[in-house]
Amino acid sequence: MRQLQKTGESGYRQRDSVEHEGYVEAHSTFHGEQNNQNGVSNLFERILSRNNLNQAYLQVVRNKGAAGIDGMTYDQLLPYLKEHKEELLTQLRQGKYKPQPVLRVEIPKPDGGKRKLGIPTVIDRMLQQAINQVLQPIFEPTFSDNSFGFRPKRSAHHAIIRAKSYYEQGYKYVVDLDMKSYFDTVNHDKLMYFVEKQISDKRVLHLIRRYLLSGIMINGIFEKSEQGTPQGGNLSPLLSNIYLNELDQLLEKRGHRFVRYADDCNIYVKSRRAGYRVMDNITTFLERDLSLTVNREKSAVGSPLKRKFLGFCLLATKNGVKIRPHNKAKVTVQEKHKRITKRNRGRNLEVILKEIQQLMTEWINYYGIGEMKGFMKNLNGWLKRRIRQYIWKQWKNPRTKRKNLIHLGIDKRKAYEWSNTRKGYWTISSSYVLHRSLTDKELASRGYKDIALQYQFVHSNY
């Protein structure tokens, strides 16, 4: 069924108006399926309804993403569905559909480790999304108000604001729980038991179980998935919240103040002694009742002013409690800029500045909620110095340097003197002559956008 002629394309490719085109064609692809969800008798048929599958298809196309083990890219999905739609739906209704194993990839983590991701095929991403769209509204009312990860209209910013409110209420200690390889260690039987509390449709349960057992492909070798919900699948975030909702319910029953974002859980208490007691009790529950492993090396009782949560920590000032990026987040972004602006990269300056802009737009949009005016001012100055160093290196020989310095308004005698200097690149980058020639205005004309101003604009909107 999945034999598909390869196009030779790999990675990501964007198509103009793909969403509009895709919607019209997907609408006709699933035409004829039931579209009145009020008249659908069970969850399984709601999942396979035309409107739900159309929405799932569009979401997969919007997300783009890499191909799974079958090599099919997101923009090949529609032609495939137009040809194999009936066969796919028949297999699903007869309970014969078998999900493909996920492709295991590893991406670097800021702490130097590796995060394991699973990439399902685009067909399985669409079907998982279709399941998620129907199940999410059913489970959403059962979730805790203190859970923020992978939920509609909730974000990491909401989570850290809630944490700030607890500190302001006098909960000055945090029980910072770290679950070791959480997504890879979820117990399937326990998870399905929790799902069955809300879902009785056997065909839906059977399909979810099949996704859990679909397996993993690592370097062309198949491995069984006897536990875990691999990160990367469209259904995994919902399943992870269902599983850890048991923890949330226990914490609420005991009256604890807590914030959970996916597997990051912080419990706020008023004393260190209470923190150690809570740590012991909750660790026992997680390991005994949920079959998870608590990483005792990373878990700790400490101050929210120092402990990192979602990349942030709190800051106590005379004007009240503030949110700030953790020092590790600052160090990480500066290291990334070092790699981007490394003077021997041999890339066009325009490319370098685009990479800087892309990195800082994403970083400021996330961390801009935090107080860091001084850091952004210093980073901005340091980054402009790195750019001046990069440009100076690009000019290479003395003749080119002298010509460019004169063009930028430097006196001929000074231009000759500095173009023949033996001082190092980093020293020259902070020199009077480069500040007079490669001014802030000149850097802006070449495409550099002031990151301190970007931060001020974003931060002022919080």
- What's the pLDDT score for residue 4? 39
Q: Are 324 and 312 in contact (CB under 8 A)?
A: yes
Question: Is residue 236 domain-shared with residue 285, that is, in the same domain?
Answer: yes
Q: Give Cα separations from 257 to 8, 173, 459 (angstroms).
A: 53, 11, 27
Alpha-carbon distance of 270 to 257, in angstroms, equals 10
Please give the pLDDT value at position 220.
86
Looking at the structure, do residues 334 and 227 belong to the same domain, yes or no? no
- Helix (H) and strand (E) counts for the chain? 20, 10
pLDDT of residue 19: 34
Q: Is residue 162 part of a domain?
A: yes
Check whether residue 62 and residue 195 sit in a common domain: yes
Identify whether residues 296 and 336 lie together within a single domain.
no
- pTM value is 0.85
Identify the sign of the CA torsion 416, 419, 424, 428.
Answer: positive
pLDDT of residue 29: 54
Burial group, residue 363, by CB count within 10 angstroms (0-12, 13-18, 19+): buried
| Domain co-membership, 98 together with 223 | yes
pLDDT tens digits, one per residue of 90-118:
999 999 999 999 998 887 766 666 777 88
Give the pLDDT of residue 10.
33
Residue 159 lies in a domain: yes
Could you tell me if 383 and 456 lie in one domain?
yes
pLDDT single digits (tens) 396-455: 999 999 999 999 999 999 999 999 999 999 999 999 999 999 999 999 999 999 999 999
Which residues of the chain have a pLDDT value below 50?
1-25, 28, 32-41
In a domain, 182, yes or no: yes
Q: Nearest-CA neighbor of 126 among 48, 241, 189?
A: 48
Number of structural domains in the chain: 2
Shared domain check, 114 and 260: yes
CA distances from 134 to 48, 126, 234, 363 (A): 10, 13, 13, 33
User: Are 414 and 432 a contacting pair, CB within 8 Å?
Assistant: no
Q: 217 and 344 share a domain?
A: no
Q: What is the pLDDT of residue 133?
A: 97
296 plus 375 within the same structural domain: no
Asked whether residue 312 is assigned to any structural domain, the reply reads: no
Q: Please report whether residue 4 resides in a domain.
A: no
Neighbouring C-alpha atoms within 13 Å toward the C-beta of 325: 21
Range of the domain at 360: 326-460
Same domain membership, residue 271 and residue 222: yes
Domain presence at residue 6: no
Question: What pLDDT digit, counting tens, does each position of 26-41 carry?
Answer: 554 565 444 444 333 4
**Whether 195 and 107 share a structural domain:** yes
In a domain, 364, yes or no: yes
Q: For the chain, what percent of residues have pLDDT higher than 90?
A: 82
Q: Clarify whether residues 338 and 421 are in a common domain.
A: yes
227's CB contacts (< 8 A; 6+ apart) are 184, 185, 186, 187, 188
Look up residue 419 and give its amino acid: S
**Rg of the chain taking only CA atoms, in angstroms:** 27
Specify if 28 maps to a domain: no
What 3-state DSSP class applies to 8?
coil
pLDDT recorded at residue 111: 61
Cα torsion 278, 283, 289, 290: sign: positive
Beta strands across the sheet bearing 264-269: 257-261, 264-269, 173-178, 300-302
What is the C-alpha to C-alpha distance for residues 233 and 277, in angstroms, rounded to an integer?
A: 36
pLDDT of amino acid 1: 45
